[in-house]
Amino acid sequence: MTSTTLPAGHPFANGTTADAPLIAALEGREPSHRPVWFMRQAGRSLPEYRAARVGSTMLEACFTPELAAEITLQPVRRYGVDAAIFYSDIVVPLKAAGVDVDIAPGVGPVFGAPIRTLADVEALPELGAEGDGGTFDAALDPVRRAVEITVGELRGTPLIGFAGAPFTLAAYMVEGRPSRDHLAARELMYAEPDAWTALVDWTSALAGRFLRAQVLAGASAVQLFDSWAGALSERDYQEHCAGGSARALESVAEFGVPRIHFATAAGHLLPALAQAGATAVGVDYRTPLDEAAGIIPDLALQGNINPALLAAPADVLEAHVQDVLTRGAVARGHVANLGHGMPPHTDPAAAQRVVDYVHEHG
pLDDT along the chain (362 residues), means of 10: 76 97 98 94 85 95 97 96 96 98 92 97 97 96 98 97 96 92 94 98 98 98 94 96 98 98 96 96 97 98 97 98 98 97 93 98 94
Closest Cα partner for 267 from 233, 303, 302, 292? 292
pLDDT computed for residue 42 by the predictor: 67
**CB-side neighbour CA atoms (13 Å) of 34:** 29
Backbone angles phi, psi at 104, to 5 degrees: -85, 125
CA separation for the pair 307, 310 (Å, rounded): 6
- Judged by phi (left if over 0) then psi (alpha if -120 to 50, else beta), residue 195 lies in alpha
Report how far apart, in Å, the C-alpha atoms of 1 and of each of 15, 17, 18, 176, 180 are: 11, 12, 8, 40, 40
CA separation for the pair 45, 50 (Å, rounded): 8
Active site residues: 40, 44, 53, 89, 172
Cβ neighbours of 179 (radius 10 Å)? 16
pLDDT computed for residue 2 by the predictor: 45
Q: Can you give the pTM of this predicted structure?
A: 0.96
Helix, strand or coil, per DSSP, at residue 92: helix
Residue 112: is it exposed, middle or buried by C-beta count within 10 angstroms (0-12/13-18/19+)?
exposed
Pick the CATH number of 21-361 from 3.40.1080.10, 3.20.20.210, 3.40.50.1010, 3.40.50.150: 3.20.20.210
Q: Provide the residue ranges of all domains of the chain, joining segments of one domain with +.
A: 21-361
Backbone angles phi, psi at 255, to 5 degrees: -85, -15
CA separation for the pair 148, 171 (Å, rounded): 31
